[in-house]
């Protein structure tokens, strides 16, 4: 599968998840509540002090019925939201597996974007909490960067990356 197809698949999966467990009467509630989505999937979220280079991880052992997402308690709430959305991407992609273990590192390899699994989950997370249609609508209506960021409850870095990936900036 080429890069474009993978990106489209991640967007489709994020939209499907929102529609399946989050949207009410076909409508999104903003900002997207990833904590509620995780609860609806029976996934526990644990805030824990983790090494500086680890934003979070998802873990499901063979004896577990559902996975647990661990997020770095030292990160701000907006970074934690993105991490949870990213880890939900791992879950959606691998939910039929008996065991799951993915770590969201903040290191040179992670920042280069060479790992296709991590790229997929980043694209999934971006679409999940910053839906393309909503971002484009707000931008076209002339909303300020700060108003969009506040509405979506995301970090400046996350929204900047999203706007760039959508070729709006």
Structure-token pair, residue 160: 């900047």
Q: What is the pLDDT of residues 11-48, one digit of tens each?
A: 899 998 888 888 777 788 899 999 999 999 999 999 99
**C-alpha to C-alpha distance for 36 and 137, rounded to whole angstroms:** 25
Spatial separation of the C-alpha atoms in residues 32 and 151, rounded to whole Å? 10
CA-to-CA distance for 71 and 169, rounded, in angstroms? 30
Whether pLDDT at 1 is above 90:
no
- The CA-atom distances, in angstroms, between 20 and each of 13, 24, 101, 147 are 10, 10, 24, 28
The answer regarding whether domain 3-130 maps to CATH 3.60.110.10 reads no
Q: Please give the pLDDT value at position 27.
A: 80
Query: Cα angle vertex 70, ends 67, 79, to 5°?
Result: 125
* Location of structure tokens 């997402």: 69
pLDDT tens profile 89-110: 999 987 766 666 667 666 544 4
Is the pLDDT score of 119 beyond 80? yes
Q: Does residue 112 surpass a pLDDT of 60?
A: no
DSSP for the chain, written as a single string? --HHHHHHHHHHHHHHHHHHHT-BTTB--SS--HHHHHHHTT-EEEEE---TTEEEEEEE-TT-SS-EEEEETTS-HHHHHHHHHHHHHHHHHHTTSS-EEEEEE-SHHHHHT--HHHHHHHHHHHHHHS-HHHHHHHHHTT--HHHHHHHHT--HHHHHHHHHHTT--
- For the stretch 38-75, pLDDT in tens is 999 999 999 999 999 999 999 988 888 899 999 999 99
């Amino acid at each position: 599968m080429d890069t474009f197809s993978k990106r489209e698949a991640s967007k489709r999966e994020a939209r499907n998840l929102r529609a399946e467990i989050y949207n009410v009467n076909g409508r999104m509630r903003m900002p997207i509540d990833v904590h509620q989505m995780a609860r609806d999937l029976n996934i526990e979220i644990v805030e824990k002090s983790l090494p500086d280079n680890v934003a979070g991880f998802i873990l499901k052992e063979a004896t577990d019925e559902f996975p647990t997402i661990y997020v770095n308690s030292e990160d701000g709430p907006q970074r934690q939201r993105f991490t949870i959305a990213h880890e939900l991407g791992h879950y959606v992609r691998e939910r039929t597996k008996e065991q799951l273990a993915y770590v969201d590192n903040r290191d040179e390899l992670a920042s280069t974007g060479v790992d296709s699994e991590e790229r997929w989950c980043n694209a999934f997370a971006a679409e999940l909490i910053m839906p393309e249609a909503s971002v484009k609508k707000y931008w076209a209506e002339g909303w300020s960067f700060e108003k969009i960021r506040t509405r979506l409850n995301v970090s400046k870095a996350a929204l900047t990356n999203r706007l760039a990936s959508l070729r709006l900036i």
